[in-house]
Structure 1
Amino acid sequence: MSQEWKSSKLTPQVEKWEEDLPEKYDLQQPTAPRLIRANEINDIWMEIPRYENITWHGMWIISILSILSLFTYCSLFQFSEFYSEATLDSKIFILVAIFSFLSICMFILKMALFVPRGTPVRFNRKRQKVYVYEHQRSIWPWMRWPTVIKVFDWTDIHGEITRQSGRYDQGFRLSGAVCKRGTYDVSDRFILSWTVGNKQLLRGLWNHCCLYMQYKLVPETPLLTRKPLSWTPLNTVRWPEDLDKESKTAPE
């Protein structure tokens, strides 16, 4: 008997797709609503933080020690007999290697000290809008890593679950797929919850968001109440003033 392969109704299908979640206006979703984490929930807006599965502890200390070690080594190596007698090609190779190592150290330091922790998603049910706080970083640490606020209409968003199989990121992830109005053609995607081990948690979170945006009664106490530490004030989430006000208020 041939095996029937499942596929997403959304186009293009997300990489590592696992399942499409029920339509957001379906009041008979099989999983009870449940928040995993929450910063705020009231009659106008709800904010869900998104904490990445990254071990931050000690990263900035390692990066600082590495940079100091590199500078110490370079200051001694610059005047050594070997360097002065090296060929031009050897000197270029040494400088490239030093720059590469410094770039890696700078990337780790920037990740540890400057990347905001728990970048949030805000749901405003009075406006029927979703505000996604995105910190756009690059593998190139010398570039500016900007913060962008994406604003979507709730009616255009569909839920989907993907399966992650990385060494340090195994489990399931919940994403919001933003489609062109009235279609399943995806124009953008955003992560609503980073990887967890149980798909039921993500189904419950999706149902909670759906019911909240329909003014239905939902539980307000999240499953997890402890917030991971931020190492410096530079890790703080800072909303632009105009969008911060808009995302927390009802239209006039």
Structure 2
Amino acid sequence: MKRQSRLDAPVRYWDEDLPKQADDQKAPPQLIRVNEINDVWMEIPRYVNYGWGGLWFMAIISLCCLSFFLLSSHFISDMFYDVSSFIFNFLLLSPLYIAVIFCFRSVLFEPRGAPVRFNRKRQKVYVYEYQRSVWPWKRWPVVIKVFDWADIQGERMQLAGHADWGHRIYCAVCKPGTYEVVDRFVLAWTVGNLRDANSLWSHCCHYMEARPVPKNPLLTDKPADWTPFRTVRWPSDVERESTTATGMM
């Protein structure tokens, strides 16, 4: 019998629905990484573990190609003596300009470990999202999404690509009392070990259901970030709300 998701519009490359929050879980609770965990709130970093080195490689290659074309052509002289040639060369090289700016902006300004906060007392989940655009000159805003824990369903997808292989956990946000998905967010980027992926979801469920959980994560190191110009900064009102119990502001 073909397996089918209980959700209306499951995630792409869906492999299975994870147990509901109060149900028995597939694995014992265990965090992979954690920024903070206490009796009120928990913050989990989401380190992108694929494509980061590739962005640096593409940025350097694009910059080298752009420099080569500028130095090996009559671009500079055309700029002063032939307006039409300047415009043609500028348009011809515009994809390289975009690629250089996009790649360097991504690796230098985009936080790699955008976190998720779980507030056990409020039964809320706070998601820190950095919205990247394909156009590097546009504003890339930070958006904070707040969801009710009761509306979240866990999903696991499986990837078999060369650069991105393993299991990824998504949280599908549904309309209250239904399985109609209205939003979703990544809980963990690709994890090679299925047990670790299931244990992360199990830990979130145990924590939010006020069950005992271990506080020590599997990993304590921080992957290379290379974002000296941008760090994770929660808005002050969200910072207060997401780290305090109901009624405490």
Q: When the two structures are superposed, what TM-score results if normalisation uses the length of structure 2?
A: 0.89
- Deviation per residue, 1:1-51 (Å, 9 max, x gap): xxx21110000122100000011011x223111111100100000000001
SS in 1 for 2:3: coil
Counterpart for residue 122 of structure 2: 127
Unaligned runs of 5+ in 2: none
AA matched with 1:43: D
Counterpart for residue 191 of structure 1: 186
Alignment of 1:1-252 (within 5 A): 4-26=1-23, 28-54=24-50, 56-57=52-53, 63=59, 66-67=62-63, 70=66, 73-74=69-70, 77-80=74-77, 93-252=88-247
Greater displacement, 49-58 / 69-78: 69-78
Q: When the two structures are superposed, what TM-score results if normalisation uses the length of structure 1?
A: 0.88
AA matched with 2:47: Y
For 2:54 and 2:190, locate their aligned partners in 1 and report how far apart those are by CA, in whole Å.
Answer: 22
SS in 2 for 1:8: coil
- Deviation per residue, 1:37-74 (Å, 9 max, x gap): 10010000000000112354595587368547736753
Greater displacement, 67-76 / 29-38: 67-76
Going from structure 1 to structure 2, the CA distance change for 1:16 and 1:55 (only over 3 Å counts) comes to closer
AA matched with 1:107: F
Q: Percent identity?
A: 52
Contact 2:46–2:114, Cα closer than 8 Å, also in 1: yes
Going from structure 1 to structure 2, the CA distance change for 1:173 and 1:61 (only over 3 Å counts) comes to closer
The RMSD of aligned alpha carbons is: 2.5
AA matched with 1:24: Q
Aligned length: 245
Unaligned runs of 5+ in 1: none
For 1:198 and 1:142, locate their aligned partners in 2 and report how far apart those are by CA, in whole Å.
Answer: 38
